[in-house]
Amino acid sequence: MSCNHYRAAISARATGTPLPATVTEQALDHHLTSCLSCGRWSKHLTTLRAATDDLLRRRRPAGAPSKPV
Ligand SMILES: [Zn+2]
């Protein structure tokens, strides 16, 4: 299977959506340990995702009223 299939799965995993039917968690993990290129890509995507989450948290107005109790 080509790296493109795995990268779709890596992307899905990073965003918390179900993996494509063609790639199992096991197959993805195995590919990540054997494919340096996808390993790097996965790390990059995870970092990017974390940075985006952080940015979204920071954009929340500090003075906004908290949820009603
Ligand atoms: Zn690969």
Total domain count for the chain?
Answer: 1
Residue 64 lies in a domain: no
pLDDT value of position 67: 73
Residue 43 lies in a domain: yes
Residue 36 lies in a domain: yes
Residue 9 lies in a domain: yes
Distance 2 CA to ligand 1 centre (A): 7
Type of residue at 65: P
In terms of Cα–Cα distance, which of 25, 29, 22 is closest to 4?
Answer: 22
Distance 36 CA to ligand 1 centre (A): 7
CA distance 57 to 9: 26
Distance 6 CA to ligand 1 centre (A): 6
pLDDT by residue (tens digit) across 11-56? 999 888 999 999 999 999 999 999 999 999 999 998 998 898 898 8
CA distance 6 to 49: 18
Residue 66 lies in a domain: no
Tokens of 65: 């009223």
Distance 14 CA to ligand 1 centre (A): 16
